[in-house]
């Protein structure tokens, strides 16, 4: 797989703080991968997300996104054309008064021809399942719908990668599911690279790769099965593991072994058949 984002010895601190939020971080992200970044509040995961997209610049070391060094101001536009970002609050990201105008905002600014914009907007809204709402007013949509419009805005820019910083934190369970389904479609149908920062362990179980941050460094990096096998360590840094796995581990203590690849209720119930 092609390496598209590269962190080399990156440190970062907010100017008025003494300690570093990101501490000599080395990590790469690959094309087409769905990566989930976990960590407690203050672990540095959101800061890392902003370093990818040249919102934050490293205090030391370098971040290279799609071949462009983020510290060079001239690269900013090129980086943002490749990487879209979606934030936590659905109400802060929408600029237009009609859904399709909002999605068209990015390509319009790039000077994309009118017919091409029409095509991109329709495609983007279809893939996040918001096409039927294209003429609606955004402020009347639910949180999950607003977040999907924000995602469509990034797709219409034809970015190759989307970074999402806790996009479901303010949504209800239905909205969360809608957004997660949209992300899976982006990956499967468009081959989009997705970097999802989240607190919800159950959103990580379907990812290709899980990265766990603590005190500004990566402490686990692997498949969901590999990472969640470190249950005790994860708990000690303020995270939990998916509930089906937690239940399986409790049963294991009593002598009933379901294995460690039981992150979902489906996997749990299948493993349970073998007891």
Partner 1 sequence: MSVLSVKNLKYEYSKGTPFQIGALKGVSVDFEYGEIVGVIGHTGSGKSTLLQHLNGLLKPEHGEILFEDENIWSSKESVRRCRFGVGLCFQYPEHQLFESTVFDDVAFGPKNMGLSENEIKERVLEAVKFVGLSEDYLQKSPFDLSGGEKRRVAIAGVISMKPKVLVLDEPTAGLDPVGKNDLLDLIKFYNKSTGSTVIFVSHNMDDVALIADRVLVLSEGNIVMNGTVEAVYSRGEELLELGLDVPEITRVFLKLREKGFDVPSDVFTVQDGKDKLIEFLKRRGNNG
Q: Which of 3, 116, 188, 238 binds partner 1 (CB under 8 A)?
A: 238
Q: How far is CA 156 from CA 149, 160, 210, 216, 228, in A?
A: 10, 11, 27, 33, 35
Distance CA 179, CA 171 (A): 9
Q: Which of 32, 42, 61, 222 binds partner 1 (CB under 8 A)?
A: 42
Instruction: Choose the binding region for partner 1 from 78-86, 93-101, 155-163, 199-207 (rule: CB under 8 A).
Output: 199-207
Determine, following the binding rule CB under 8 A, whether residue 169 of this chain makes contact with partner 1. yes
- Taking residues 96 to 125 in sequence order and writing x for each that binds partner 1 by CB under 8 A, - otherwise, the string is ------------------------------
Which two structure tokens, joined as six digits, stand for 23? 């501490």
Phi then psi for residue 217, to 5 deg, are -130, 165
Q: Which letter, b or e, does each residue of 215-244 get, where b requires 16 or more Cβ atoms within 10 Å of its Cβ?
A: bbbbbbbeebbebbbbbeebeebebbbbeb
**Strand spans (E) along the chain:** 3-12, 22-30, 34-38, 60-65, 68-69, 83-86, 161-165, 193-197, 209-214, 217-222
Q: Which of 173, 189, 232, 274 binds partner 1 (CB under 8 A)?
A: 173
Q: Which of 3, 97, 174, 257 binds partner 1 (CB under 8 A)?
A: 174
- Nearer of residues 13 and 243 to partner 1, judged by Cβ: 243
How many of the other CB atoms lie within 10 Å of CB of 272? 14
Determine, following the binding rule CB under 8 A, whether residue 143 of this chain makes contact with partner 1. yes
Q: Are residues 225 and 260 in contact, defined by beta-carbon separation less than 8 angstroms? A: yes
Instruction: Choose the binding region for partner 1 from 121-129, 181-189, 223-231, 237-245 (rule: CB under 8 A).
Output: 237-245
Determine, following the binding rule CB under 8 A, whether residue 55 of this chain makes contact with partner 1. no
Determine, following the binding rule CB under 8 A, whether residue 44 of this chain makes contact with partner 1. no
Binding site for partner 1 (CB under 8 A): 39-42, 88, 142-143, 166, 169-175, 199, 201-202, 238-240, 242-244, 246-247, 250-251, 254, 256, 265-266, 268-269, 272-273, 275
């Amino acid at each position: 797989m092609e390496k598209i984002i590269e962190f080399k010895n990156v440190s970062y601190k907010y100017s008025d703080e003494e300690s570093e939020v990101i501490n000599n971080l080395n990590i790469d992200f690959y094309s087409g991968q769905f990566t989930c970044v976990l960590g407690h509040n203050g672990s540095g995961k959101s800061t890392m997300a902003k370093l990818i997209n040249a919102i934050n610049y490293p205090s030391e070391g370098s971040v290279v996104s799609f071949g462009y060094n983020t510290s060079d101001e001239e690269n900013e536009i090129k980086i943002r054309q490749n990487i879209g970002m979606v934030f936590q609050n659905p109400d802060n990201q929408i600029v237009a008064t009609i859904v399709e105008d909002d999605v068209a905002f990015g390509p319009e600014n790039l000077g994309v021809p009118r017919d091409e914009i029409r095509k991109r907007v329709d495609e983007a809204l279809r893939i996040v399942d918001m096409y039927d709402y294209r003429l609606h007013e955004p402020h009347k949509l639910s949180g999950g719908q607003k977040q999907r419009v924000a995602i469509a805005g990034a797709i219409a820019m034809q970015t190759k990668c989307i970074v999402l910083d806790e996009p479901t934190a303010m949504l209800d369970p239905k909205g969360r599911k809608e957004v997660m389904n949209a992300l899976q479609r982006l990956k499967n149908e468009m081959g989009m690279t997705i970097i999802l920062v989240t607190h919800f362990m159950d959103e990580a179980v379907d990812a290709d790769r899980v990265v766990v941050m603590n005190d500004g460094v990566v402490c686990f990096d692997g498949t969901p099965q590999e990472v969640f096998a470190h249950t005790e360590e994860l708990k000690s840094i303020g995270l939990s593991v998916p509930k089906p796995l937690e239940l399986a581990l409790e049963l294991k203590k009593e002598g009933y072994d379901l294995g460690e690849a039981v992150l979902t209720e489906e996997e749990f119930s299948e493993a349970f058949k073998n007891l």
